[in-house]
Each structure stands twice: as C-alpha cells, then as structure tokens.
C-alpha cells in the first residue's frame, strides 16, 4: 500500500472515487447541507479540480493498493479552512454557467451551511485540521485509516504544527478509533436547526503534537 499526496495523473484517475469517500464521513450532515446527492457530488468534483478549495486534490493524501484508491485524508492548516470554504464560490459559478444548478439551490445550501457552521469550533493557526478521513468499506479494519492518520500526524509535526484536530459526528464509530490512537474529546457542539433534522452533535477531537 502506498500513502502519497495527490499529484500528476492521480488527480484525474481517481476523481470519480472522491465524492463517495467524502460523503461517507458524514452522510446525515451532508444530506442536511446539500439536500441533494447529485448536487453534493458536483460540488466535490468541482472542488477537487480547483486548488485552494475545500475538497481540492492539493489538500489530499491517498492510500493506493494495486492501483486502486482505497482511502483518503483531506487536511490543511487551520488558518486555511475558512479560506478554502469560501473558495467554493467559483465552483458554484462554474456549475451555474453550465446550467447544472439553479440559483435557489445555492441559496438553500448557504443558509443551511451557515446554521451548521456552529457545529465546528474555530481553528487556530497552530493547528493542522483533518477535514476528511475515509476508507472504502472493503478495506476497513485493515489499518488503512491508521496509516493515513499517522501520516497526517507525522507531516503536521514536520511542518511545525502544535496540534492536530478534526471534527466527527458523535454517533460515528470512528470516534472510538480516534480515541484509540490518542485523540481527546475537546468539545461537543450542537446547533438547533441541524439537530432538528437529525444531525447529531459534533465532536471536536484533537492531539497535542509538541
């Protein structure tokens, strides 16, 4: 198995796998945000190909085995998170120009995303943020996620970050995995509107690196 950052042809070869892997990290949350799976897929794929945005290839490390993409880690400096989130604007514009979305779709997503943003505490400059860690179902339990997160921890230390943090839905079985590798629960956050739609509380979990 190889754990490598995305570069070259990898961006195009494995693009089709990315939306499902990201979706799997929090289906109920993404369903609340986007209300439409096709819309979600279009945004993630558009972001994948636009460096500096939230789901971009330039923030992604992949696990590959026998030429198959089996897992991903999308991560960034904490100071970049909101910047990358705002950089989704041009992705929306591209979809509008191609008549793939309706302006009302954007308004709905922005409204729900603003309400859901309260689930995620602010990130500091000294923090490396794991935005998504996902492994294909057939490869879970084979330490793929472990190797991806350990690679993220090692890279964060090498780059001088003092902390590594991530957000995970409180009902996600991955909570136990993160606890087992040393991440602590730092905060539990709720937001009324997402909670009313079945989105569980979010856990901010973290590890001190220095």
Residue 191: strand, helix, or coil: coil
Nearest to 64 by CA among 55, 53, 73, 52: 73
Instruction: Give the single-character DSSP code of 19.
Output: H
Residue 140: strand, helix, or coil: coil
pLDDT tens-digit map of 191-208: 999 999 999 999 999 999
pLDDT tens-digit map of 92-147: 999 999 988 888 888 999 999 999 999 999 999 999 999 999 999 999 999 999 99
pLDDT tens-digit map of 67-101: 999 999 999 999 999 999 999 999 999 999 998 88
User: How far is Cα 178 from Cα 171, in angstroms, rounded to an integer?
Assistant: 13
Instruction: Give the single-character DSSP code of 118.
Output: G
Instruction: Give the single-character DSSP code of 199.
Output: P
98 by Cβ neighbours in 10 Å (0-12 / 13-18 / 19+) ranks as exposed
- Please tell me the pTM assigned to this model: 0.95
User: How far is Cα 193 from Cα 16, in angstroms, rounded to an integer?
Assistant: 32
Ordered by where they begin, the domains of the chain are 2-208 (3.40.630.30)
Q: Using 50, 70 and 90 to split pLDDT, how confident is the model at 210? A: confident
99 by Cβ neighbours in 10 Å (0-12 / 13-18 / 19+) ranks as exposed
Q: What does the pLDDT read at residue 100?
A: 86
Which residues lie closer than 8 Å to 99 by C-beta, 6 or more apart? none
Nearest to 177 by CA among 203, 195, 201: 203
pLDDT tens-digit map of 14-28: 999 999 999 999 999
Instruction: Give the single-character DSSP code of 92.
Output: H
What is the secondary structure of 25-90 as a DSSP string? T-HHHHHHHHS-HHHHHHHHHHHHTSTTSTT-GGGEEEEEETTEEEEEEEEEEGGGHHHHHHTTHH
Q: What does the pLDDT read at residue 154?
A: 97
Q: What does the pLDDT read at residue 11?
A: 94
Whole-number mean pLDDT of the chain? 96
pLDDT tens-digit map of 38-53: 999 999 999 999 999 9
Q: What does the pLDDT read at residue 152?
A: 98
Q: Using 50, 70 and 90 to split pLDDT, how confident is the model at 66? A: very high
Q: What does the pLDDT read at residue 174?
A: 96
- Radius of gyration over every alpha carbon of the chain, rounded to an integer in angstroms: 16
Nearest to 92 by CA among 82, 84, 100: 100
């Amino acid at each position: 198995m190889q754990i490598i950052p995305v570069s070259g042809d990898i961006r195009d070869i494995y693009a089709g796998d990315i939306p499902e892997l990201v979706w799997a990290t929090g289906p109920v949350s993404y369903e609340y945000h986007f209300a439409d799976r096709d819309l979600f897929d279009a945004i993630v794929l558009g972001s994948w190909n636009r460096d500096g945005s939230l789901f971009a290839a330039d923030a992604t490390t992949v696990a590959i085995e026998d030429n198959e993409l089996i897992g991903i880690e999308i991560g960034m400096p904490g100071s970049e998170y909101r910047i990358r989130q705002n950089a989704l604007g041009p992705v929306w514009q591209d979809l509008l120009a191609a008549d793939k979305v309706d302006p009302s779709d954007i308004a709905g997503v922005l409204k729900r995303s603003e309400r859901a943003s309260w689930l995620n505490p602010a990130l500091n400059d000294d923090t490396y943020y794991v935005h998504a860690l996902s492994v294909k179902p057939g490869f879970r339990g084979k330490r793929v996620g472990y190797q991806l997160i350990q690679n993220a921890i090692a890279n964060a230390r090498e780059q001088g970050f003092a902390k590594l943090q991530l957000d995970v839905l409180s009902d996600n079985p991955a909570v136990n995995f993160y606890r087992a590798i040393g991440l602590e629960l730092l905060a539990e956050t709720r937001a009324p509107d997402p909670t009313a739609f079945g989105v569980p509380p979010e856990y901010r979990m973290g590890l001190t690196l220095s």
